[in-house]
Structure 1
């Protein structure tokens, strides 16, 4: 059971998961900014080019049914701006960094600090010692003195 929780903890604390969560939150906030920009500036421009201002601006009617093409174009522009920013500011730099690491131009991430290595060695030694003691009648959780 402890191994399951340890695996879950390792998964949650893995850098990629945390980075992904931060990316999703920032992406949602950024999408709101882009949507506000396109609703506030781009959609009115589309409506001006499509016939001026008012209720019928940016629409056309077929058999008395209005089609709001300004909203569609606005959504399309919102998507393109969001996708372009994510590509040029997130995906492309990460791809360039990964390529540099593959070619060896950039050093790999630093090794763990010496104190972490030492603590890991102590832990491994204690686990090995505990495993040896169990063979002599010791029950798990109790140590012979």
Structure 2
């Protein structure tokens, strides 16, 4: 089988299409969660921190160097930890919602109680022998 025909067979499988749809929906969902965190959660956290925008929180490692005219020679070196923490919150929210979705999905996909499998004839025969010996 040639590589092109193998590739066609691979793409034709339902799993690849399902995966592609899942990735597109996941990317769109990530944007929704980012908008939630940026627009609703972080302003509340910033309000709790004294009205400061959370994404702009940073530690100055080195101040900017200025010349005599006040022009910046070298920029300040900043450690921007606010946006990093905001991205972690995005990730945790997305992971939590995916966890809840998969939990509900698995509950719906739980195998139904099927009728017990038929007992093999040799087991039935051994039970009859056991029961007759007890008498």
Q: Which has the higher contact order (CA 8 A, sep 6+)?
A: 2
State the match for 2:14 in structure 1: 15
Q: CA RMSD in A?
A: 3.2
**Residues 11 and 60 (structure 1), Cα distance of their counterparts in 2 relative to 1, 3 Å cut:** closer
Larger radius of gyration: 2
In structure 1, stretches of 5+ residues that fail to align are: 106-145
**Residues 30 and 98 (structure 1), Cα distance of their counterparts in 2 relative to 1, 3 Å cut:** same
Aligned length: 101
**Residues 15 and 31 (structure 1), Cα distance of their counterparts in 2 relative to 1, 3 Å cut:** same
Distance in 2 (alpha carbons) for counterparts of 1:96 and 1:57: 38
Q: Deviations over 1:40-82 (max 9, x none)?
A: 112212222222236x886254555654443233211110111
State the match for 1:59 in structure 2: 57
Which of 86, 94, 100 is the matching residue for 2:111?
A: 100
What is the CA-CA distance between 1:25 and the residue it aligns to? 0.3
Distance in 2 (alpha carbons) for counterparts of 1:104 and 1:83: 34
In structure 2, stretches of 5+ residues that fail to align are: 64-76, 116-135
Distance in 1 (alpha carbons) for counterparts of 2:41 and 2:82: 9
SS in 2 for 1:53: coil
Distance in 1 (alpha carbons) for counterparts of 2:27 and 2:84: 20
SS in 2 for 1:100: coil
State the match for 2:95 in structure 1: 83
TM-score between both structures, scaled by the size of structure 1: 0.53
Distance in 1 (alpha carbons) for counterparts of 2:89 and 2:51: 20
Distance in 2 (alpha carbons) for counterparts of 1:26 and 1:41: 22
